[in-house]
Amino acid sequence: MRQVLNPTQPNKMLRQELLDLLLQHEVDVVFTKVDGTMREMRCTLMPSMLPTPVTAANGKEEKPTKENTSVIRVFCTENDKKEWRSFRVDSVISANKRVLL
């Protein structure tokens, strides 16, 4: 199923739609990188696909930093990556749910 996001929508609404999609699915997001090149990234925020939280040297879980609402931080699920990445909400061209066969 292909879901193309409308870049003319307010960022807040677009951000929430992206977050809702990412929390429920693995998603192929196409966006423009800061250097102007296009990038397609397979990513998710599904709890079952995220790595376990990292603990600091003192044994306590690290506290999250203040959220930047213009950026979404996701877990990249591509075979060679498997790490946290981010993209700017206003740079998103499309977001497509991955269909598992």
Summarised one tens digit per residue, pLDDT across range 29-40 is 999 999 999 999
Average pLDDT over residues 18-23: 95
Provide the β-strand partners of residue 94: 30
Q: Is 17 a residue whose pLDDT tops 90?
A: yes
Q: Does residue 45 sit within a domain?
A: yes
Q: Does residue 60 sit within a domain?
A: no
Cα 22–Cα 28–Cα 33 angle in degrees, nearest 5: 100
Q: Does residue 54 sit within a domain?
A: no
pLDDT of residue 97: 92
Q: Does residue 19 sit within a domain?
A: yes
- pTM for this structure? 0.76
Quick check: helix, strand or coil at residue 67?
Answer: coil
Q: What is the CATH number of the domain that holds 45?
A: 2.30.30
Range of the domain at 23: 2-49+68-97
Answer yes or no: are the C-beta atoms of 74 and 22 closer than 8 Å: yes
Q: Does residue 40 sit within a domain?
A: yes
Q: Regarding beta strands 71-76 and 27-32, do their DSSP bridges make them parallel or antiparallel, or are they unpaired?
A: unpaired
Q: Is 20 a residue whose pLDDT tops 50?
A: yes
Q: For the residues of 13-43, what is the DSSP string, one character each?
A: HHHHHHHHHHHHS-EEEEEE-TTS-EEEEEE
| Residue-wise pLDDT tens digits, 42-97 | 999 999 999 887 655 666 666 666 778 899 999 999 988 899 999 999 999 999 99
Q: Does residue 56 sit within a domain?
A: no
Overall domain count for the chain: 1
What is the token pair recorded at 64? Answer: 């999250």
Q: Does residue 57 sit within a domain?
A: no
Q: Does residue 22 sit within a domain?
A: yes
pLDDT of residue 46: 95
